[in-house]
Amino acid sequence: MQITAAAQDPLATRADLLAVGVFKGGIEGPGAAPVLGALGLDALPVTPGFRGDIGQHLLLAAPGLDVGGVLLVGLGRMDEADAERLRRAAAVAARAGGRARRLATTLAEVHPTGASVQAVAEGFLLGAHSEDRFRSAPASDASRLDEVVILTPSSRLSQARDAIRRAEVYSRATIGARRLVDLPPSAKRPAQLADAIAELVGEACEVQIRDEAVLAAQGFGGILAVGAGSSHPPRLVTLRHRPRDPLGHVVLVGKGITFDSGGLSLKSPAGMMEMKADMAGAAAIAGACAAMAELGVRVEVTALLPLAENLPSGTAQRPDDVLTAFGGTTVEVADTDAEGRLVLADALALAAADEPDAIVDLATLTGSVIAGLGQYAAGAMSNDPDLLAAVQAAAELAGESVWPLPLWPELDRFLASDVADLRNIADRPRCDPGGGAITAALFLRRFAGDVPWLHLDIAGPAFLSPALSTDYRGPGATGFGVRTLLTWLERRA
Ligand code: BES
Ligand code: MN
Ligand code: ZN
């Protein structure tokens, strides 16, 4: 899809569709009044299905205009309009476009800033993305838009063009991550996924891939134990973004379980659905890394992406096994379905050994975080309040919901093991402290050492079923985290 900015009168614009915003209660957004006037409507057609709420739209015929139709797009309450609502409204317009190929819109004028042009462009690019690599023909409701013209006053044209370029980079990175997550598990065994990540980042990063022999020689006991049940052995991918004269060094760690069956602690069939998305943390980091050079990120970034397939078999790890993670910490494996923290233990220990300024990990780690925060937000846990505040502020700007959870010290003792340094789950029979997202994070914290560290549990927002996907997020993979990471890294420099 091509997005351009133009300083044109909406009534003089040629397009298949003209999308204009309407606030809740039928209050006309920018550009709406003259358009409705030209259609001979003196009041907005408020119907039970269109009151101007976010998510709603209404298609009108446009006799006498140069456009094929007028699409009214709900913007929600006027006093609550912000960039994120524009992003959602733009995505609704992209999905409601039907057969339209060229669309012009005044949506970005709701909040006349570069940030709103970027949000509108991202909404169109992300909302129009549909996954049709595995269909014989695109879905019938797939967007056919190939050109979007964002109407803007001539005084802001060059600012709008910069904003569109940034939206393209952010959206390409997000869609790159989505496409990895949407791959079926049989098409992304660890070695294949490592190659797909290398292809995604291209020349933007240095790439290093450790195979199972190197992992064994170097003592990555967590990754190897989780991958032991699969005939497709694990990998550890390292990506490096090395700017000249870097302003500090950050390590990103992403959970990359290409399919999580639970292992011998087998999940139920229903619990196994969507577990191809258990590598969404690694995918988000790979997507972000692909965009860093283009954005001119000034921070040096190392990404560590442990990739493994968690399957039951005669070679799988067993409950009661003890493994030695990178760096020497031993772990009693009480539940093979708590596998994410085992691969992350290795990667976090390797990250901490480098003594970077910060470590941020992204992981679809627990069902517990979904019980607590729902599917639209990630839980954030950190040993460093400043790092937490900075990532939360970046998420807010990016339009992603990141909510802090506490690292209660009184839960730590539940990770004590009778046989090893640590147990991988807190709940023993008849002794379950609850707070599974928190105890998982307390486990991870042991491996981050003294480095400022932040953990994002993205189990909820990484993947949305069609029923939960109403705007630019999903359906399927969302690429959650890509835009937060890029915003945080850009602001850090
Ligand atoms: N990958 C899952 C977490 C998950 C659940 C992600 C639902 C997305 C949706 C993780 O590996 C897992 O199985 N976690 C267990 C941990 C438990 C065994 C302590 C869980 O949350 O039930
Ligand atoms: Mn699991
Ligand atoms: Zn998992």
Q: Does ligand 1 come within 6 angstroms of the Cβ of 364? A: yes
Q: Does ligand 1 come within 6 angstroms of the Cβ of 335? A: yes
Dihedral sign from CA coordinates of 45, 49, 51, 54: negative
Query: What is the Cα–Cα distance from 196 to 203, expressed in whole angstroms?
Result: 13
Q: Which two tokens stand for residue 79?
A: 């006093």
**Domain 183-492 architecture:** 3-Layer(aba) Sandwich (3.40)
Question: Which residue's CA is the closest to the ligand 1 atom numbered 7?
Answer: 367
Ligand 1 atom, smallest distance to 366 CA: 21
Ligand 1 atom, smallest distance to 260 CA: 1
Percent of the chain clearing pLDDT 70 (strictly above): 100
Question: Which residue's CA is the closest to the ligand 1 atom numbered 13?
Answer: 337
Ligand 1 atom, smallest distance to 368 CA: 21
Q: Does ligand 1 come within 6 angstroms of the Cβ of 460? A: no
- Render pLDDT for 91-146 as a digit per residue (tens, 0 to 9): 999 999 889 999 999 999 998 787 999 999 999 999 999 999 999 999 888 999 99
Minimum mean pLDDT among 100-114, 273-287, 359-373: which range?
Answer: 100-114
- Render pLDDT for 221-276 as a digit per residue (tens, 0 to 9): 999 999 999 999 999 999 999 999 999 999 999 999 999 999 999 999 999 999 99
For ligand 1, the distance from its centroid to the CA atom of residue 133, given in whole angstroms, is 28
The domains of the chain are located at 2-174, 183-492
pTM greater than the 0.95 cutoff = yes
- Ligand 1 pocket test, candidate residues 337, 369, 415, most atoms within 8 A of CB: 337
List of residues 6+ apart from 4 with CB closer than 8 A: 147, 148, 149, 150, 164
State the fold for domain 2-174.
Leucine Aminopeptidase, subunit E; domain 1 (3.40.220)
Q: Does ligand 1 come within 6 angstroms of the Cβ of 237? A: no
Ligand 1 atom, smallest distance to 265 CA: 18
For ligand 1, the distance from its centroid to the CA atom of residue 418, given in whole angstroms, is 24
Q: Name the closest ligand to CA 255.
A: 3
- Render pLDDT for 306-317 as a digit per residue (tens, 0 to 9): 999 999 999 999
Specify the pLDDT at position 44.
Answer: 81
Instruction: List the beta bridge partners of residue 456.
Output: 362, 380
C-beta of residue 155 within 8 angstroms of C-beta of residue 5: no
User: Over 90: is that where the pLDDT of 411 sits?
Assistant: yes
What residues are labeled active site?
A: 267, 341
C-beta of residue 366 within 8 angstroms of C-beta of residue 457: yes
The three-class DSSP label of residue 382 is: strand
Q: Does ligand 1 come within 6 angstroms of the Cβ of 366? A: yes
Question: Which residue's CA is the closest to the ligand 1 atom numbered 17?
Answer: 338
